[in-house]
Amino acid sequence: MNPTPWFPGEVKPVREGVYQRVYNRDFKDLRYCFWDGQLWRVGYKTIEESAEYIRGFAHSQKLPWRGIRK
């Protein structure tokens, strides 16, 4: 995985897809979330789960995030 730099939660991704988000202040709980173009979906521990199970919305829409380059 080749991640992009971190972006603040107020900045939203341009493209739909799976991104990595921070779920606590010390960056120890990282989750993969699907961005549907308007809202973040629930976070999962793996990229595959996040892409497959697109249900529910994340409690916080303003967590830091970064892209995942292939």
Q: What does pLDDT average to in each consecutive run of 10 residues of the chain (70 residues)?
A: 92 94 81 93 87 80 89
pLDDT at 60: 86
Q: How far is CA 4 from CA 9, 13, 66, 69, in A?
A: 14, 12, 6, 7
Model pLDDT, residue 69: 80
Task: Output the CA–CA distances (angstroms, integers) from residue 50 to 23, 26, 33, 42, 57, in the order listed.
Answer: 15, 22, 6, 8, 12
* CA dist., res. 69 & res. 58, Å (int): 23
Report pLDDT for 8.
95
Cα–Cα dist 44/65, whole Å: 14
Per domain, the residue ranges of the chain are: 2-69
